[in-house]
Amino acid sequence: MKRSIAAALFASLALAGCGSATDGLNFKAPAGWTALPAFIGFGHFQMWTKKSSDNKQDEMLMLVRGQSTTTLDLKTMPQAGMGALKAQKQSTIKICGNHSAQYLSAVGSGHSGKPQALEMVSTPVGGQIFLAMYIRPQTDRPDPGAETAIRSLCAAKT
């Protein structure tokens, strides 16, 4: 898990700057997930964890705020210590009503060598790019709250 966190930090720092990862977003982490301190990644990276069903691995939910609206190629980004990824689906999806976003689902092996499922959503919001990532053991059912969260990269209503 520590290697996964270190890799996630490296990936997030490539996109990060100053401020809060959730500023200006309608993003909400699911109930029951534990937030790591928001100061990691200079405020542009936030991570939440939850124990998986085997109580040995953590599920992870990450949110990264980038400093530009440059489109990300989700297949070539470093993915939180997942090793080689086998993409299962890459597509453009609609979130927040009619807002376009990139979506990638893949399977890779975590630091334990066990298969892990990964879902990523990326989209520009308000002049910045956002990336939400959900990683879980492949044998666990997806957490509906986590899947909803990664699709909630919507501008906050003011």
Which of 81, 83, 120, 86 is CA-nearest to residue 103?
A: 120
Higher-pLDDT residue of 11, 128:
128
The residue-averaged pLDDT of 123-131 equals: 87
Specify the CATH architecture of the domain 2-150. Answer: Sandwich (2.60)
Q: How far apart are CA 51 and CA 41, in angstroms?
A: 23
pLDDT in tens, 73-104: 555 555 445 556 777 788 999 999 899 999 99
Q: What is the pTM of this model?
A: 0.77
- Distance, in Å, from the CA atom of 158 to the CA atom of 155, rounded to the nearest integer, reads 9
